[in-house]
């Protein structure tokens, strides 16, 4: 590696790679509103994006909002605080073929109708409905996963079929923001399992990106942005995670250790938000850490107080991953392109995975919570910049 190269991040000229209209909605009268924040894997010579697809019924009446949630046949209790009215029940597409891991999955989707004039509800955030105390009572869409495949890393073909639908009580509001890590012959997917019980961390695994096995809830709410290290270190598995503390503490990145991927302990604060800077509001790991000679490269997102999400970078010690060697002062990628500065939730670049080829990092990312894009940079100058001792 040479450190003389300039660090320059190059957006792919064909961005965005995928947009909502590229994905068929689950029902003819639904709309896909986002295809974004994909986990990334290399499998059988292809690059796989495990896309987050957010969809909902097309909205017809101006004074109301239709929101989908998983529910029992009676539609009961999936969205208890929203004072919503059950409009209809739909069967989940392809449920039987979904590689169900033995959970007693609710068999249906309930479409709930909320009154936009309800003075108890707050509809200002396009992503969620809140009550007057700021508590989220439901989401405005439901997210599932869908696979796209590519040989060249930029032209993607979507798999047919319904994709991976949420299932069970911890996923009744959707599954979001997957990260994919190859370990011990399987691919391990950590994701946000969202329900009225909170935002927990779910895990599923697959050997072939066709059958997916649920591995349970690995961290209790509220926690997000879990990435696994792609190999054991000193005999243990490691993850980065991002609790959202209540009352005391900040949304910082923590590290934890496991003997078996299923059970986690030895939690330590790894790195925190930085007051007054681009990552002052919250931070969270992007994809699985990338092994380099200089250390584990962590691409992470940081949001400021206005919810502008940028991507940044940090370097962790190879053998003691709870030690931060260096952290880039400035962001690596800032929302600037039009697909990053306008969209469903504007001003967001949010990566859940990357691929390294010949010293070049292809970082895939969701833009404005509705499309997928990618950007490329050389590894060597980034590592070179971060190999200085920590200030």
Shortest spacing between CB 390 and its own copies, in angstroms: 16
Q: Is 200 in the site for its own copies (CB under 8 A)?
A: yes
Chain centroid to Cα 118, Å, comes to 31
* Smallest separation, CB 179 to its own copies (Å): 17
Query: Judged by CB, which is closer to its own copies: 203, or 361?
Result: 203
307 near its own copies, judged by CB under 8 A:
no
Distance (Å, rounded) from C-alpha 11 to C-alpha 9? 7
Q: How far is the CB of 264 from its own copies (least distance, A)?
A: 6
The residue from 75, 178, 243, 366 that contacts its own copies (CB under 8 A) is: 243
What radius of gyration do the chain's Cα atoms show? 20
Kindly state the smallest distance separating residue 359's Cβ from its own copies, in Å: 35
- E-assigned strand segments in 161-208: 174-183, 186-195, 198-206
Using CB under 8 A, pick the residue from 52, 144, 179, 241 that binds its own copies.
Answer: 241
Span from 214-222, 318-326, 335-343, 367-375 in contact with its own copies (CB under 8 A)? 214-222
The C-alpha atoms of residue 347 and residue 111 are separated, in whole angstroms, by: 30
Stretch that binds its own copies, among 21-29, 70-78, 195-203, 204-212 (CB under 8 A): 195-203
Handedness of CA 324, 329, 333, 338 (dihedral sign): positive
Binding residues for its own copies, rule CB under 8 A, total 44
Task: Specify the DSSP class assigned to residue 120.
Answer: T
Q: Which of 145, 191, 264, 377 binds its own copies (CB under 8 A)?
A: 264
* Minimum distance from residue 77 beta carbon to its own copies (Å): 11
253 near its own copies (CB under 8 A): no
Nearest distance from C-beta of residue 173 to its own copies, angstroms: 8
Both tokens of 80, joined, read 């208890």
Alpha-carbon distance of 262 to 124, in angstroms, equals: 38
For its own copies, the closer of residues 282 and 301 by Cβ is 282
What is the CA angle 19-20-26, rounded to 5?
Answer: 145
Task: Count other C-beta atoms under 10 Å from residue 377's C-beta.
Answer: 21
- The Cα-based distances of 371 to 16, 210, 254, 345 in angstroms read 6, 23, 28, 11
Virtual torsion, Cα 345, 352, 322, 276, nearest 10 deg = -20
Going residue by residue from 145 to 184, which x/- string records binding to its own copies, judged by CB under 8 A?
------------------------xx--x-----------
Confirm or reject binding of residue 84 to its own copies (CB under 8 A).
no
Shortest distance, position 209 Cβ to its own copies, whole Å: 24
* Structural contact between residues 68 and 109, judged by C-beta atoms closer than 8 angstroms: yes
Q: Which stretch binds its own copies (CB under 8 A): 191-199, 204-212, 291-299, 301-309?
A: 191-199
Q: 86 to 115, contacts with its own copies by CB under 8 A?
A: none
Q: Does 135 bind its own copies (CB under 8 A)?
A: yes
Residue with tokens 């250390």: 295
CA–CA separation, 200 and 220 (whole Å): 5
State how far the Cα of 147 lies from the Cα of 169, in Å rounded to an integer: 24
Residues that bind its own copies (CB under 8 A): 134-136, 169-170, 173, 194-200, 216-223, 241, 243-249, 252, 254, 256-260, 262-269
């Amino acid at each position: 590696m040479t450190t003389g190269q300039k660090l320059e991040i190059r957006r792919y000229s064909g961005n965005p790679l995928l947009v909502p209209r590229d994905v068929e909605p689950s029902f003819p009268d639904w709309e896909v509103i986002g295809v974004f924040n994909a986990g990334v894997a290399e499998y059988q010579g292809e690059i796989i994006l495990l896309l987050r697809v957010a969809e909902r019924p097309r909205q017809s009446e101006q004074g109301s909002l239709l929101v989908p949630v998983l529910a029992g046949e009676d539609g009961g209790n999936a969205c208890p605080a929203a004072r919503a009215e059950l409009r209809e029940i739909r069967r989940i597409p392809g449920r039987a073929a979904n590689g169900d891991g033995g959970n007693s999955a609710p068999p249906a989707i309930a479409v709930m109708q909320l009154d936009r004039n309800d003075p108890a509800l707050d509809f200002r955030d396009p992503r969620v409905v809140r009550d007057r105390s700021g508590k989220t009572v439901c989401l405005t869409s439901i997210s599932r996963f869908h696979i796209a495949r590519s040989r060249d890393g930029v032209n993607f073909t979507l798999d047919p079929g319904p994709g991976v639908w949420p299932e069970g009580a911890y996923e009744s509001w959707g599954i979001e923001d997957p990260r994919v890590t190859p370990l011990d012959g399987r691919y391990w997917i950590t994701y946000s399992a969202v329900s009225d019980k909170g935002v927990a961390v779910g895990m599923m695994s697959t050997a072939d990106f066709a059958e997916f096995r649920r591995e349970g809830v690995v961290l209790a709410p509220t926690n997000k942005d879990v990435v696994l290290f792609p190999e054991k270190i000193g005999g243990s598995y490691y993850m980065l995670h991002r609790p959202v503390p209540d009352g005391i503490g900040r949304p910082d990145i923590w590290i934890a250790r496991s003997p078996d991927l299923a059970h986690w302990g030895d939690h330590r604060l790894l790195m925190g938000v930085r007051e007054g800077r681009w990552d002052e509001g919250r931070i969270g790991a992007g994809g699985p850490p990338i092994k380099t000679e200089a250390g584990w490269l962590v691409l992470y997102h940081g949001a400021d107080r206005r919810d502008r999400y940028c991507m940044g970078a940090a370097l962790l010690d190879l053998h003691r991953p709870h030690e931060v060697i260096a952290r880039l002062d400035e962001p690596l990628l800032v929302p600037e392109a039009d697909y990053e500065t306008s969209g469903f939730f504007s001003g967001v670049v949010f990566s859940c995975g990357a691929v390294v080829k010949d010293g070049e990092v292809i970082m895939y990312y969701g833009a404005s919570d509705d499309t997928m894009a990618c950007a490329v940079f050389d590894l060597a100058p980034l590592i070179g910049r971060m190999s200085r001792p920590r200030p």
